[in-house]
């Protein structure tokens, strides 16, 4: 698994910095119009060829800066799908991140392991060049596996779920909205909905396990339904909106797929044909006008009904 970490130390001069360096492929920036990365954002996607990628932004830590502001930690991750220690840890971080952002009290085992690995001394070592991100991540992985974290077998499934693809939107008997059938329909809901969050976690685990294709996104700057990302034909997209009340409720709403591209060549061919017909009609009209002028001149010289006279030869 490749890891990039964004954090800072308590010292003023050690502001937020990427370790081991600024990522070359900042794929998450494609959501810049739908997410403010100065605040917590969560993105999990399939990356093709049996791989996944994730951006977990704004994880809480126990550290504060020099003026007492809480320090956060963000992760950019990508790895191979399957029940591996790194995917188990990532799935747990996703679930714990959701509970924090929703204001729900829940155990923070994975986040705690990460926080202890990136304590004040080790983060100071990152800025001083005496620590390495990979070693600290390995420390968190080892601690999570030994602190009662979920076992690798079955770790990427949810209790009571036979398949990660069961991430259908939760249905409510009081809701008049039509039920959305997974995985053909993608949907969006508000982060506050407990059942929507549970379905989101199931889908995210499926993406990490390699049994689902698509995206699981928590976006914090959505203005409404028109601002939602659109799913491609082959993917299942779930979006949770982390924003002001009234924009998205707990009941999921379907997200329309991208409209098929218009056939510009066909439209261009039609225009060319119309232009050709118009040109031919104009040319015919010009010839008819010229013939009519010649006929009028002939009639005015010889009189009506008189055939034209040949000029006498000297």
| Contact between residue 281 and residue 205 where contact means Cβ atoms under 8 Å apart | no
Percent of the chain surpassing pLDDT 90: 62
Q: Which pLDDT score is estimated for 234? A: 86
CA distances from 162 to 33, 88, 122, 201, 211 (A): 36, 18, 41, 14, 12
Q: Which pair of structure tokens corresponds to residue 284? A: 């015919």
Measured between alpha carbons, how far is 305 from 314 in angstroms, rounded to an integer? 27
Q: Is the pLDDT of residue 280 over 50?
A: yes
Residue 91, helix vs strand vs coil: helix
Q: Which residues contact 79 (CB under 8 A, 6 or more apart)?
A: 1, 2, 51, 52, 86, 87, 90
pLDDT-based confidence at 271, cuts 50/70/90? low
Q: Which pLDDT score is estimated for 289? A: 64
Q: Which pair of structure tokens corresponds to residue 19? A: 């370790």
pTM summary value: 0.76
Residue 261 vs residue 218, higher pLDDT: 218
Q: Is the pLDDT of residue 89 over 70?
A: yes
Q: For 147-263, where are the alpha helices, taking DSSP H only?
A: 194-209
Q: In terms of Cα–Cα distance, which of 222, 207, 263 is closest to 52? A: 207
Give mean pLDDT, residues 281-287. 57
CA angle 30, 94, 59 (to 5 degrees): 80
Measured between alpha carbons, how far is 219 from 31 in angstroms, rounded to an integer? 8
pLDDT-based confidence at 224, cuts 50/70/90? confident
pLDDT-based confidence at 162, cuts 50/70/90? very low
Q: Which pLDDT score is estimated for 141? A: 97
Q: Which pLDDT score is estimated for 257? A: 81
pLDDT-based confidence at 157, cuts 50/70/90? very low
Give mean pLDDT, residues 118-144. 97
Q: Which pLDDT score is estimated for 225? A: 78
Q: For 43-57, 89-103, 106-120, 171-185, which range has the lowest pLDDT when averaged over its residues?
A: 171-185
Measured between alpha carbons, how far is 59 from 90 in angstroms, rounded to an integer? 12
pLDDT-based confidence at 182, cuts 50/70/90? very low
The H-or-E segment that residue 278 falls in is helix 264-302
Q: For 28-37, 178-187, 249-258, which range has the lowest pLDDT when averaged over its residues?
A: 178-187
Q: Is 58 left (phi over 0), alpha (psi -120 to 50) or beta?
A: left
CA quadruple 289, 291, 293, 295: dihedral sign = negative
pLDDT digits (tens, 9 = 90+) for 26-72: 999 999 999 999 999 999 999 999 999 999 999 999 999 999 999 99
pLDDT-based confidence at 142, cuts 50/70/90? very high
Q: In terms of Cα–Cα distance, which of 22, 108, 117 is closest to 63? A: 117
Q: In terms of Cα–Cα distance, which of 232, 173, 171, 289 is closest to 48? A: 232
Q: Which pLDDT score is estimated for 262? A: 65
The H-or-E segment that residue 293 falls in is helix 264-302
Measured between alpha carbons, how far is 94 from 44 in angstroms, rounded to an integer? 9
pLDDT-based confidence at 285, cuts 50/70/90? low
Q: Which pLDDT score is estimated for 291? A: 57
Residue 234 vs residue 259, higher pLDDT: 234
């Amino acid at each position: 698994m490749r890891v990039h970490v964004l954090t800072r130390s308590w010292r003023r001069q050690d502001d937020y910095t990427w370790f081991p360096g600024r990522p070359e492929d900042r794929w998450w920036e494609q959501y810049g119009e739908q997410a403010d990365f100065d605040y917590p954002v969560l993105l999990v996607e399939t990356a093709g060829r049996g791989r996944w990628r994730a951006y977990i932004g704004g994880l809480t830590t126990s550290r504060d800066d020099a003026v007492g502001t809480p320090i956060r930690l963000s992760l950019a991750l990508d790895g191979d799908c399957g029940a591996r220690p790194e995917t188990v840890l990532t799935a747990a971080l996703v679930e714990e991140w959701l509970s924090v952002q929703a204001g729900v009290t829940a155990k923070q085992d994975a986040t705690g392991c990460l926080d202890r690995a990136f304590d004040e001394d080790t983060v100071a070592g990152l800025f001083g060049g005496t620590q390495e991100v990979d070693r600290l991540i390995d420390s968190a992985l080892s601690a999570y596996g030994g602190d009662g974290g979920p076992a690798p077998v079955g770790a990427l499934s949810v209790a009571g779920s036979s398949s990660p693809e069961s991430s259908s939107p939760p249905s409510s008997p009081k809701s008049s909205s039509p039920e959305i059938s997974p995985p053909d329909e993608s949907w969006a809901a508000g982060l506050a909905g407990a059942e929507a969050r549970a379905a989101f976690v199931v889908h995210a685990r499926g993406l990490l396990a390699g049994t689902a294709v698509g995206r699981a996104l928590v976006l914090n700057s959505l203005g409404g339904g028109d601002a939602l990302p659109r799913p491609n034909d082959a993917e299942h997209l779930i979006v949770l909106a982390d924003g002001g009340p009234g924009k998205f409720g707990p009941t999921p709403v379907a997200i329309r797929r991208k409209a098929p591209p218009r056939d510009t060549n066909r439209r261009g061919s039609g225009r060319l044909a119309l232009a050709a017909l118009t040109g031919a009609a104009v040319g015919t009209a010009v010839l008819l006008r010229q013939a009519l002028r010649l006929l009028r001149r002939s009639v005015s010289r010889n009189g009506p009904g008189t055939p034209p006279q040949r000029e006498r030869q000297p």
